[in-house]
Structure 1
Amino acid sequence: MYARGRLAGAIMSITLLGGLGAASLPGAASASEPAQNYLVFYKDGGKDAAQRAAEAAGGTVQGRDDKLGYLIVRASDPERIGADPSVVGVTLDRPIGKTADAPAASAPRRAKHARSAAKHVRSAQAGDPLSDRQWDMKMIGATPAGSYAKARGSHKVLVGVIDTGIDGHHPDIAPNFNRALSRNFVADQPTDENGKQLDGPCEHKGCKDPADVDDDGHGTHVASTIGSPINGLGVSGVAPDVSLVNLRAGTDSGFFFLKPTMDALEYAADVGVDVVNMSFYVDPWTFNCANNPSDTNRERLEQRAILEGMRRAVKYAHTRGVTLVSAIGNESLDLGKVKADTSSPDFPKGAEKTRSVDNTCLNVPAELDGVISVSSVGPGGHKAPYSDYGVEQTDIAAPGGDMFDAGTDIKGVSREILAAAPESVLRAKGLLFADGKPKTSSVIRDCQGGKCAYYQYLEGTSMAAPHVTGVAALIIGRFGKPGRGGLQMDPAQVERLLYATATPKGCPVPGAYRYGTGESQVCEGPTAKNGFFGHGVVDAARAAAVAF
């Protein structure tokens, strides 16, 4: 899957790699076009000039973000504003995400966690009831005999999950869920501007879900892989003692638009989050091109805004100590050699077109500087056929599942990744009987001591990235120094240790690897850094034992 601008996690109808909100449908502005809110990104020192340009075009400034350098302007002619030399890009600020919570200055930095130390130790020695199904944890050494014996993270390590939300009430999430710092940066939108269903009926006042709700399940699965506790129930995460912070930027329908994504990154930096997981791409463009001749002027302005906005948000977070991990994507593409984009813009429905692209067009956040991009491998250690790749783009690999991999089949649907799932989502999808029993082998229910929890098998680069995020959290837990939010560590040092402790893996021989499906993909580069595995497969056990 990959959260879309769609989810990058489970391979499903949504590409959770992220979704950047598309502006309006392609075309030039007209005199009768209604006024809407736009994000206007200005050059350094260009704020006043950009404001004058907006006002000259008949727009009014509704707000600003001086940290990331943009104005929120209500206008009907964004192209006129974008023509000013002080303006870098202009994109529609979709109604999704306008009601973001402001950080509470007095909020505690960490949630309290009541837990029996004796029970914790006994459970850690034996693993959790479903640990034998977690081939992914065994692959990277996140086991009682491996990393758990030396490093399990720390509640002082704040791990942000920028996704569709986290079910903070899930029994295998709740002990590590930091409710005090969690935020929801989006408001649900029942339908799109064409009247087609988007998120469906609103469940909460103002169409804004609480910060402990996940109506999709993608974010909960990701969070579970990172930090489900060792508590005698269900599964265990890579870093079972960390604090999980919900930074929701994805809609119920799986879209990730620009402003809520930037808001989540900015908030993470301001409150001292140590590492964030981004298993999505920003909608609506799979590839953002600054000067693509096949795009309209308005489309170019929008993509420039997305590129500039995300670069600024990523830089803001990175320079303030946030390690940034992203899924690479699920389109089976060599990202350094993409020639065509047939899936953009993916919002609103029916807006897609076929256009030529080149290597200057970027998938974000995966291809941005300062972001660790993760490809996916199956249980046999092969790069999963769905996983994107590329010599320049792939930084590290991790288990993400592959239902077609010939690797060892442990139990059930074990070629995919098992992690926590919200019961409400499983019921809504018709995957449970009325009495709570799963209808399919892709869903597991575990009951211990009168408490039951649900888990689901999913696959995708969305499932690979949280393994790397978890190992990054282990590294920060070992070597981080007291700072804002708990612990802090230079992201460059975290990245260096991630790569130094990864298990090197060279390209298959021959380099043109043919999958069982008949598809062939070409791996390029040496063992030390190649297009399939980057610096190697992440290794929790080695990271837990390395000397800094």
Structure 2
Amino acid sequence: MRRIILATALMLGLIATPAAADPLVMPHVVVTHHTGWAELVIRKAGGTVVASYPQIGVVVAYTAKDDFAAKLRKTPGIDAVGATRTAKIPKEFFAPREDLRYTGPNSPNSGQVPPEGTAWDVPALHLPEAHQVTDGSKRTVVGVLDVGVDDTHPDLEPAFDRKDSVSCLSGRPDRGPGAWRPTLDGHGTHVAGTIAAARNGSGVVGVAPGVRIAAVKLAELDDTETAESMVCGFVWAAEHGFAVASNSYRSIPWRYNCDDQPDQAAAKLAVGRAVAYAQRRNVLVVASAGNAGINLDTRSVDKESPADSTPVERRIDPTCTRLPHELPGVVGTGALDEKLVKASFSNYSASRISVAAPGARVWSTWPNGEYRSASGTSMAAPHASGVAALIASEHPHWSAERIKRALFATATPLSCPDTTCAPTKEGTTYYGHGMVDAARAVGAG
């Protein structure tokens, strides 16, 4: 059986150290209204088609040729072309994977996990009251779009849906056995536990322990997701009946994608089409709002891009987009600490924060049957996803838009704790509509 086929850096596609005979290539997204025609043009220009998504007019391809994008941009019928890296990667990156095994770090605090139901986020979201009404329904599937999920974890195995799990690392759905599993990072396993860890008297308990979890693996390490993996992931979510897609990451190579840069504009357009398609297919898309502790409405500098080579400081403005959090209709989630105030690291905004949820020192599952505490808006988004999943379970015929309205309407308003925070039409710049509330969401509060 195949094992991990590349060393860590090669699987990430971040460091170009191939075997002598292994050519380096640059992945691209090609946006068009005629994918069949685009595939012919791509091949003629020296590219190899990885995956084609006629549903949204996006083709994923790679090439060794440096003039590939320039040629395609001159071709009628091609709307946008963008390289999804700034450094070429080995062609072997696009090979199928299966039978993956976790080789990343162990939990630093697995032995200290508090007894089930006693971690601070449980009473904060009124989970005991909500669970008297429902644990969630097995009809409801929540997609964890992340770095993979350990489906063998005892707190996750009862909820895990292998049939609807997949790896999208290359931009093509890879359904190889175990291709969705993590290898280097337990981040996705932690997210999954917050959503649906079993209520079984041990370990931790998820917000919606009765729902199903499907893993959609987009990267090997947190915050290294690419445009092609997101396109693949959101189309997969759309076509496999997910009620909620939980996203706790930011993309590479550009942390913010600006419309005046052709590669970034193409990535934004391609991912935007995929997210919109998922939303039309009634997938509620939830995403973390980021951990820079900044006002997203006034940002002006990016010092972290390109994240796959050597970052340089560049000027940006609020129209440059964090993917996928800032795309239309996405439920941007900020983080709260134990005092139910904005965590110091959590970004804020008058328009880009929809709700808030626990995100500091959150206990959840970790690969190999372990547990750990972690902080970040990555931990807040799955809390919101779990509450949305409870609503979807109680109202299986509701649209994603109606579920979102209910999530907002049942959130607990929080007042501004300082002068940096400001009121908005919906609530505040720190918390959006407020803190998600599981009990109120299912009519128990």
User: TM-score, length-normalised on structure 1?
Assistant: 0.68
Determine if contact 1:375/1:387 at 8 Å carries over to the other structure: yes
- Partner residue of 1:536 out of 420, 434, 442: 434
- Partner residue of 2:232 out of 260, 263, 275: 263
Corresponding residue for 2:3? Answer: none
Letter in 2 for 1:418: W
Change (3 A) 1:140 1:96: farther
Which whole-Å CA distance do the structure 2 matches of 1:333 and 1:458 have between them?
20
- Partner residue of 1:278 out of 247, 252, 258: 247
Could you give the per-residue CA deviations for residues 407-429 of structure 1, whole angstroms, max 9, x where no partner exists?
Answer: xxxxxxxxx10111113xxxxxx
Change (3 A) 1:21 1:141: farther
* Matching of residues 78-89 of structure 1 within 5 Å: 78-84=69-75, 86-89=78-81
Letter in 2 for 1:171: P
Which whole-Å CA distance do the structure 2 matches of 1:164 and 1:230 have between them?
24
Corresponding residue for 2:180? Answer: 211
**1:129 Cα offset (Å):** 6.9
Change (3 A) 1:81 1:22: farther
Which whole-Å CA distance do the structure 1 matches of 2:80 and 2:335 have between them?
35
Greater RCO (Cα-Cα under 8 Å, separation 6 or more): 1
Could you give the per-residue CA deviations for residues 217-257 of structure 1, whole angstroms, max 9, x where no partner exists?
Answer: 10111100100111121111100111111111121465111
Which whole-Å CA distance do the structure 2 matches of 1:491 and 1:399 have between them?
23
Which whole-Å CA distance do the structure 2 matches of 1:545 and 1:492 have between them?
19
Determine if contact 1:227/1:470 at 8 Å carries over to the other structure: yes
Please state if 1:307 is matched with 2:268: yes
**1:528 Cα offset (Å):** 3.6
- Partner residue of 1:38 out of 28, 36, 46: 28
Determine if contact 1:165/1:215 at 8 Å carries over to the other structure: no
- Partner residue of 1:234 out of 180, 203, 207: 203
> Which SS does the other structure have where 2:414 is aligned?
coil
Corresponding residue for 1:327? Answer: 288
Determine if contact 1:396/1:534 at 8 Å carries over to the other structure: yes
Gap regions ≥5 residues in structure 2 = 1-11, 17-22, 99-112, 171-175
Letter in 1 for 2:367: P
Which whole-Å CA distance do the structure 2 matches of 1:279 and 1:91 have between them?
23
**1:180 Cα offset (Å):** 2.1
Please state if 1:337 is matched with 2:298: yes
> Which SS does the other structure have where 1:545 is aligned?
coil
Which whole-Å CA distance do the structure 1 matches of 2:194 and 2:297 have between them?
29
- Partner residue of 1:149 out of 120, 124, 132: 132
Which whole-Å CA distance do the structure 2 matches of 1:536 and 1:253 have between them?
27
Corresponding residue for 2:259? Answer: 290
> Which SS does the other structure have where 2:152 is aligned?
coil
Please state if 1:222 is matched with 2:191: yes
Letter in 2 for 1:88: A
Q: How much is the aligned-residue C-alpha RMSD, in angstroms? A: 3.0
Which whole-Å CA distance do the structure 2 matches of 1:163 and 1:540 have between them?
23
> Which SS does the other structure have where 2:188 is aligned?
helix
Corresponding residue for 1:201? Answer: none
Aligned residues between the structures: 401
Change (3 A) 1:332 1:254: closer
> Which SS does the other structure have where 2:94 is aligned?
coil
**1:276 Cα offset (Å):** 1.0
Which whole-Å CA distance do the structure 2 matches of 1:306 and 1:373 have between them?
20
Letter in 2 for 1:285: W
- Partner residue of 2:406 out of 491, 494, 497: 497
- Partner residue of 1:390 out of 331, 349, 367: 349
Which whole-Å CA distance do the structure 1 matches of 2:92 and 2:258 have between them?
24
Could you give the per-residue CA deviations for residues 21-60 of structure 1, whole angstroms, max 9, x where no partner exists?
Answer: 8899xxxxxxxx9764532212x45874x5676577x334
Please state if 1:90 is matched with 2:95: no
**1:96 Cα offset (Å):** 8.2
- Partner residue of 1:59 out of 17, 42, 46: 46
Identity of aligned residues (%): 31
**1:525 Cα offset (Å):** 2.2
Letter in 2 for 1:89: V
